[in-house]
Amino acid sequence: MKFFIFIVLVVAVIIGVITFQNPDLDISFTFSQWIIAGPIALIIAIPFGAGVLIGITLLVPGWMRKAKLARTNKKRVGELEEELAKAQDQVEQLSLTEEELPEEIDAEEDERKGPGDVF
């Protein structure tokens, strides 16, 4: 995008320089049956401006699609971050250290193990 703006500015400067250096230079331009006469800067500026407008018109739908996708993705990231925070809170609440476990659980595990159980 920055490169595009740079090119547009360079061409605009060139048109401006031509205009100020040749204010009395008129040319005629023939297209099919039409003959257009006028200052050289105007003959150059009008097709250039039309091309820029057509180019921007063709680029706008893509820009809008990307902007919509970015908004959707940003919203989804926010939702996922909220879910992650909730899950981390649940993990913190459920995680118990060995010191916090009641003694009864250790006794029950010992009773379940038979004499041949190694683990």
109-119 pLDDT per residue, tens? 656 665 555 55
In a domain, 55, yes or no: yes
CB distance 45 to 16 below 8 Å = no
- pLDDT tens profile 17-41: 877 787 777 888 888 888 888 887 7
Local confidence band at 96 (pLDDT 50, 70, 90 cut-offs): low
Write down the pLDDT at residue 61: 92
Would 75 be classed as within a structural domain? no
The mean pLDDT value of the chain amounts to 81
Counting Cα atoms < 13 Å in the Cβ hemisphere of 78 gives: 6
User: How many degrees, rounded to 5, is the angle at CA 43 between CA 46 and CA 13?
Assistant: 70
| 80: Cα separation from own chain's centroid | 19
Q: Which residue type sits at 82?
A: E
The reply to whether 84 falls in a domain is no
For residue 54, the enclosing domain spans 10-62
Q: At what angle do helices 2-21 and 40-94 cross, to 10 degrees?
A: 160
When pLDDT is averaged across residues 41-59 and rounded to a whole number, the result is: 86
Q: Is residue 49 part of a domain?
A: yes
Map residue 31 onto helix, strand or coil.
Answer: strand
* Domain assignment of residue 103, yes or no: no
Position 17 in a domain: yes
Q: How many domains does the chain have?
A: 1
Residue 109: inside a domain, yes or no?
A: no
Is the pTM here over 0.85, yes or no? no
Q: So what's the pLDDT on residue 90?
A: 85
Q: Is residue 73 part of a domain?
A: no
Confidence band, pLDDT 50/70/90 cuts, at residue 52? confident
Res 74: pLDDT = 97
